[in-house]
Amino acid sequence: MPEGHILEVREVTKRFGGVTAVNHCSLAVQPGKIYGLIGPNGSGKTTLFNCITGLDRRDEGEIRFKDERIDGLKPHQVACRGIGRTFQIIRVFPELTALENLLVVSRKGGLAGNCQRAMELLEFVKLDRLQNEYAGNLSYGQQKLLEFIRVLMTDPELILLDEPAAGVNPTLLNDLLGAIRKLRVQGKTVLIVEHDMKVVMGLCEMVFVLDYGEKIAEGPPEVIQANERVMEAYFGR
Amino acid sequence: MMAGILWLLLAVMGGLAVLPLFASGYIISFTIQIFMWIALAGSWNLISGFTGYVSFGHVAFFGVGAYTGALLVTQAGWHWLPASLAGCVPAAALALLIGYPCLRLKGPYFAIAMLGLNEVVRALVSYFESFTGGGSGISLPPILSIAPVYYAMGGAAVAVTLLTYRIITSRFGLRLLSIREDEIAAETMGINTSLMKLYAFLLSALFPGIVGGLYAWYSSYIEPLGVFPLLTTITMIIMCLFGGKGTVLGPVLGAVLLSVFQELVWARFLFVHQAIFGALIVAVVLLMPRGIMGVLQERYRLPRTV
């Protein structure tokens, strides 16, 4: 699908009681690019991620992945269609070892057959020496990296990253950013929620801006940075 | 280390295999009890130790198996062994029926639902008097030799332990553990958590059903209060936690050590033995929350598959 959209969110609305977390939000994502999703706290970024991955059920609108409707599917069904995600708060499996954290999400072939791929990924983020350590014993940054490669283990076409840079030290951050750029080279599509503007500007080709659950702007980073409405949403009038 | 453990296990199994040839009746029946607890604690481990869904009604499967076995022997004239094995069928059916809705409940809600299940099943068994004998129970023919029951119960204990080993070394086992660790993350990573939980629940119900049938035959008499006691579920839980949840040998160690301990204390301190037992449980939960195997694994860096 070189020209079409890999992900289409159409007029999606999600309410929690009286709060409209996502309000008639539409966005379209083309394959093979890195997208940013930014907005002030509480603007609905994570809720939108949850709607796409099936953790929250949208109230209105539809979500299509590779021309198939995925709103209404269960999270594991969405995942198996090729969407992987990480979480804002780390969600590794603490009492599984680093290696097991990867093996457990593999879907085909025996465990032994997946070991090689898992070890390659651990080497990729320099965690190979900690393969038999419980994930809960790793440092915050290491857990963040482990969660990142756990997504890669399932080989998804679309990867949603929820604040991948938060709490990662500068050296690790550079590795992580390098890894994300490498994904693009491999033809993956990436959608990143991020607060660090430097990261977004340096990484993303297109940026969506949410405010109070509505999309208020979209465009290349440099255009977004100059956008008045965006500045207003972030810094106030 | 692993080879040492394996040899030790083989030696113990060899010893147990010839035990009925020379041991006293007391020793044999005590060992049968230990086998029963290994099978029960090991089964509870499959759902609760692996997925973290604490079942407070596991004795329901045991009781259903006991009644199935007893009825097949007394009403249908079956041999005790196939009658006991058949106990797993209604246990599995009950697990499917109850697991499908109840495994959606999280944490304490699932535990309480399972507690309710046991009470409901017991009440039903008491109510359908013409079929189950109600409160007066069912008497089975007295057994002439306990050696066959010894081997059958031992077989159940070994089978549960081998099944646990098979699961823990598989992707299925890792998936169950990931549910215990973080169910939402597991689901988001593409693991069909509902289905995995149902499989685990089903597997965990099979052997209590069989063991229940063997128990009915072995004890020659069953009645609702005797085969549906909450205490049996609690004992399974304590043994599994004491030995180490989510491990292969944990339930075995827990069942053996606690049975022996209880027997020794019971014989010496008739009146305070329950208090001593209770104090031990509190101490274990406080001092080694991951059980004996948890401590050993940490100290000697053993793999989880032990």
Q: What is the pLDDT of residue A159?
A: 95
User: Which tokens sit at A184?
Assistant: 């693009």
User: Is B183 domain-assigned?
Assistant: yes
Average pLDDT over residues B109-116: 92
Assess if residue B84 is contained within a domain. Answer: yes
Count of CB atoms situated within 10 Å of the CB of B203: 21
Whether B184 and A100 lie within 8 Å, measured CB to CB: no
Q: Across all residues in chain B, what is the average pLDDT?
A: 91
The chain B residue lying nearest A159, using CA atoms, is B189
Interface of A with B in 17-76 (CB under 8 A): 53, 55, 74-76
**Which pairing describes strands A83-85 and B138-139: parallel, antiparallel, or unpaired?**
unpaired
- pLDDT tens-place string over residues B122-158: 999 998 888 888 888 899 998 888 899 999 999 999 9
For residue B117, pLDDT beyond 80: yes
Q: What angle do CA B185, B301, A154 make, to 5 degrees?
A: 25
DSSP classification of residue A165: T
Is B50 within a domain?
Answer: yes
Domains of chain A: 7-235 (3.40.50.300)
As a whole number, the mean pLDDT across chain A is 89
Average pLDDT over residues A135-163: 92
* A68: helix, strand or coil: strand
- Asked if pLDDT for residue A201 goes beyond 70, the answer is yes
Tokens 């097949």 correspond to what residue?
Answer: B72
- Count structural domains, chain B: 1
Range of the domain at B171: 26-230
Q: Check: pTM over 0.95? Answer yes or no.
A: no
Domain-located, residue B293: no
A74-83 pLDDT, tens digit per residue, is 999 999 999 9
Chain A residues touching residue B192 (CB < 8 angstroms): 74, 76
The number of angstroms, rounded, from the C-alpha of B164 to the middle of its chain's C-alpha atoms is 12
- Assess if residue B95 is contained within a domain: yes
Q: What is the pLDDT of residues B201-229, one digit of tens each?
A: 999 999 999 999 999 999 999 999 889 99
* Residue labelled with tokens 């208090």: B275
pLDDT at B5: 82
- Pairing outcome for strands A206-211 and A214-219: antiparallel
Q: What is the mean pLDDT of residues B81-86?
A: 96
Domain membership flag for residue B94: yes
Q: Residue A1 pLDDT more than 60?
A: no
Of B169, B170, B178, which is closest to A93 when you measure between CB atoms?
A: B178
What per-residue confidence (pLDDT) applies to B200? Answer: 97
E strand or H helix that includes residue B33: helix B25-44
CB contact at 8 A, A85 and A159: yes
Residue B88 lies in a domain: yes
Within 10 angstroms of residue B139's Cβ, the number of other Cβ atoms is 13
The confidence score (pLDDT) of residue A3 equals: 58
In a domain, B186, yes or no: yes
Mean of pLDDT values over B292-299: 85
| Residue A15: strand pairing partners | A20
Asked if the model's pLDDT at residue B168 lies above 90, the reply is yes
B170 touches chain A (CB under 8 A): yes
pLDDT of A106 reads 93
